[in-house]
Structure formats: structure tokens, C-alpha cells
């Protein structure tokens, strides 16, 4: 009888020990998953931040250069320093730009200025370069860089694209994750910034500043995240991806009457 009691007592202790061990293991797995998830969210947030800052910097620097010509240059540019499209991208010839609609309703912008060693980095052959670092050709007198955002045909991920004078008709990606551009334009005497669609073609020469916004999309992490878009609307992402909008007010340095 005593041996049986001792055996039962040992089995009970073993059962309790196994149960406690399982609880500890389950807690460790939960903590690991939680930490891994938190790390994934932090990495995604950092990538969104980096993409937004890079996009604002690249486009903003170009907008600041719009209309630039050297002091001893007497030839006029072949078109306005800026030309924008609402829910579309600039296409057509350099002197007569038009707009092509984009399904994501992202805005587009074309920036024009005289290209030389001061306004651009020089290529290895000494020629001025466009937004992609491409030499624009010895005979070119100005650079025309066109920006828009769309989904990549190969990966499906949204990207910021630029088409430069160095290879007209071929846009190349610059920043991954940029889902939408939103641009509004300031002209002298205006009480608020105007959409590209509200700006008459003959008034593009009068633009002195641009309100630029880029909306960046993160990775698919199966979460519902609230964000504020480029129009100031508070939305909830339904596709499991975080989003963040980045804003910048950019003054044209070479526009008459522009003030920072």
C-alpha cells in the first residue's frame, strides 16, 4: 500500500511539473511573437519615414531649381518652370506638355530649368544630368524632369518615378513605397493654394511656391491602422498596411516675387 501511494504522489508531481513547464513555454512563445511583431512594426515605420523624407527631398530640391538660368544666359526657357497634372502625369513634348490620367489618382509635376554644372551634377563626360543622373546630351539647353507615383508593373508596390531629359519616354523608380503625390500651387494674390486643374495654362509662369505631399505605404502586416491622408482626411487602412503622409512647402528660388 505504501509503494502505491508513493507512486501516485510522484505521478501527481510529474503532472504538475509538466503543466507548469507548458505554461512557461507558452508564455515564452507569446513574448517572442509579441517582440517579433513589435520589431516588424518598428522596421516598417522606419522604412516609411525614410521613404517619405527621401521623396520630399528629391522633389523639393527640383522644385526649388525650377526656372533657373545662368546670369549671362539670354535665351528663354522653352516652357514654364513648372507644369502640374491633377490625378495624372505630365506627358508630351517639352514645349507643349499635356496630362495622362493615373488610376491611383496621384498628381504629377514637371520641372524645367537650364542645365549646367551649377544646377546639376556633371556626368563623367562633362554633360549636365537629369533627375536620374543621366547625361542629357551635348546639344540640350535645359532639363525637364517629370515626377509621378504609380504601382510597379513588376512588383506591384507603389513607387516614385521620374522621367528625365536624358531618356525621354522612359521613367525610372526613385523611391519605393510612395503611393500618391498631392501638389497645390501658389500664385501671387491667391488666398489659398490651387490644384493643377484649377490653374490656367497661361498662369504656370506665375507659380511662386508649391505645397507638396507624399503618401507612403508600408508592408502588409495584417493590422488596421488609422492615418491622415494628403487631403487631411482621417482614414483606416483596410489592407493591413500602415500609411503616413509627409508635407513640405517649397518656394521657387528663381520665381519673380517668391518669398520663403
- pLDDT one-digit tens code per residue, 43-102: 999 999 999 999 999 999 999 999 988 877 777 888 999 999 999 999 988 778 999 999
Taking 60 as the threshold, does the pLDDT of residue 208 lie above it? yes
The reported pLDDT for the residue numbered 8 is 53
CA nearest to 117, candidates 163, 68, 159? 68
C-alpha span between 162 and 89 (Å, rounded): 10
Give the residue-averaged pLDDT of 231-246: 93
C-alpha span between 51 and 42 (Å, rounded): 14
3-state SS class at 117:
coil
Share the mean pLDDT of the chain.
87
The reported pLDDT for the residue numbered 258 is 53
pLDDT confidence tier of residue 6, bands split at 50, 70 and 90: low
pLDDT confidence tier of residue 159, bands split at 50, 70 and 90: very high
Dihedral (CA of 171, 175, 176, 179) sign: negative
The reported pLDDT for the residue numbered 57 is 96
CA nearest to 142, candidates 111, 99, 109? 111
Dihedral (CA of 147, 148, 151, 154) sign: negative
C-alpha span between 138 and 178 (Å, rounded): 33
Give the residue-averaged pLDDT of 163-185: 95
Taking 70 as the threshold, does the pLDDT of residue 123 lie above it? yes
The reported pLDDT for the residue numbered 162 is 97
Give the residue-averaged pLDDT of 116-123: 80
Least confident of 17-31, 118-132, 221-235: 17-31
Given a contact cutoff of 8 angstroms between Cβ atoms, the answer to whether 113 and 68 are in contact is: yes
Which of 30-34, 192-196, 199-203 reaches the highest mean pLDDT?
192-196
Taking 60 as the threshold, does the pLDDT of residue 135 lie above it? yes
Taking 60 as the threshold, does the pLDDT of residue 167 lie above it? yes
Q: Which residue has the cell 525614410?
A: 50
The reported pLDDT for the residue numbered 260 is 44
Least confident of 35-39, 144-148, 209-213: 35-39
Helix, strand and coil in the chain, % to nearest 5: 30, 35, 35
Query: Which residues contact residue 156 at a Cβ distance below 8 angstroms, ignoring those fewer than 6 apart?
Result: none
Taking 90 as the threshold, does the pLDDT of residue 24 lie above it? no
Amino acid at each position: 500500500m505504501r509503494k502505491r501511494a508513493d507512486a501516485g504522489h510522484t505521478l501527481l508531481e510529474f503532472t504538475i511539473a509538466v503543466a507548469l513547464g507548458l505554461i512557461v513555454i507558452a508564455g515564452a512563445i507569446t513574448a517572442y511573437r509579441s517582440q517579433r511583431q513589435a520589431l516588424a512594426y518598428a522596421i516598417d515605420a522606419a522604412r516609411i519615414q525614410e521613404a517619405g523624407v527621401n521623396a520630399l527631398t528629391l522633389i523639393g530640391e527640383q522644385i526649388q531649381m525650377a526656372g533657373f538660368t545662368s546670369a549671362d544666359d539670354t535665351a528663354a526657357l522653352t516652357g514654364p518652370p513648372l507644369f502640374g497634372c491633377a490625378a495624372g502625369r505630365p506627358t508630351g513634348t517639352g514645349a507643349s506638355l499635356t496630362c495622362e490620367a493615373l488610376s491611383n489618382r496621384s498628381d504629377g509635376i514637371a520641372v524645367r530649368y537650364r542645365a549646367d554644372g551649377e544646377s546639376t551634377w556633371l556626368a563623367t563626360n562633362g554633360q549636365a544630368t537629369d533627375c536620374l543622373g543621366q547625361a542629357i546630351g551635348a546639344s540640350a539647353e535645359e532639363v525637364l524632369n517629370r515626377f509621378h507615383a504609380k504601382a510597379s508593373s513588376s512588383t506591384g508596390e507603389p513607387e516614385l518615378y521620374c522621367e528625365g531629359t536624358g531618356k525621354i519616354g522612359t521613367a525610372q523608380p526613385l523611391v519605393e513605397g510612395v503611393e500618391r503625390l498631392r501638389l497645390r500651387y501658389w500664385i501671387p494674390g491667391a488666398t489659398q493654394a490651387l490644384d493643377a486643374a484649377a490653374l490656367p495654362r497661361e498662369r504656370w509662369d506665375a507659380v511662386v511656391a508649391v505645397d507638396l505631399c507624399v503618401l507612403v505605404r508600408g508592408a502588409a502586416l495584417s493590422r488596421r491602422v488609422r492615418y491622415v491622408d494628403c487631403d487631411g482626411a482621417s482614414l483606416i487602412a483596410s489592407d493591413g498596411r500602415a500609411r503616413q503622409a509627409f508635407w513640405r512647402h517649397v518656394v521657387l528660388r528663381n520665381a519673380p516675387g517668391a518669398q520663403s
